[in-house]
Structure 1
Amino acid sequence: MPDPITGEGLTRRRPKSRTWEPRTCCTRSPTSRRSPSAAVETATAGTKARHTSPTNTRALYLLRRAALSDRLSLAHPDVEDFLTDAVQLAHQLAEFDRKHDTHVGPIGPSAIEWDPSHRPYVRQEYDHWGW
């Protein structure tokens, strides 16, 4: 009779356990293949307005990326990559808003207030949506 504590004397072989592969699991998931527009629609479902135009969807996508990078750089000031990403994405958002006139805050992306960095501009735009 096998020992219930140590398992000694157990003659049955244990089946090989399958390893969990996150890439395989995630690539089969329908949510992992969503487009940026679907991600924005999901994230902004309870906000002030509907966003159906591709330009507004792209602007909100850039805003959410820039805001996330800004928060990461504030939470981890010693990681230089987070700071670099935050600055670059804030600049991309300001350029896009300047080109397409999609800003919603009181101060536009071309204002002198954003001279050294566009990161406060990202905070203004993000704050407007109340996320």
Structure 2
Amino acid sequence: MSEKSSEKSEMSCVEFVQDALRNHVAPPGSGVNVGDRIRHAARRLGWGHSRTKDAWYAAPRISISGDELRKIEELTGLRYGRQELKELDELIGRADALLEGENADLYRPIVDAFRALARALDRAGAP
């Protein structure tokens, strides 16, 4: 894996954690100001204040460990979606292959419905 693609995946993970912290671990109603919310998140996760603050602001110098990611997933019920995205891409590829076959007119409504379902599941906050 190249350094650039590794950096990109780490950034995506940091963005996932940032969103989880802000919207699920310490949502707007959990504190009067951002500092209170960061302290609340640090207590819930068992992380230090500085570490939580870096994740909150998605500081470019940090990376999220597997244990930290699992803790976020357990606490919030969210899942970091790289595997799900890969599976959806494979299914969409198979559906596209059906459209190129002999019975394309037969499969087109099924493929269109599948695409609509995949898009709905891809939206932020979908269970």
Alignment TM-score > 0.5, same fold: no
TM superposition score category, shorter chain reference: under 0.3
Structure-1-length-normalised TM-score = 0.25
Return the index of the structure with the highest Cα Rg.
1
Structure-2-length-normalised TM-score = 0.25
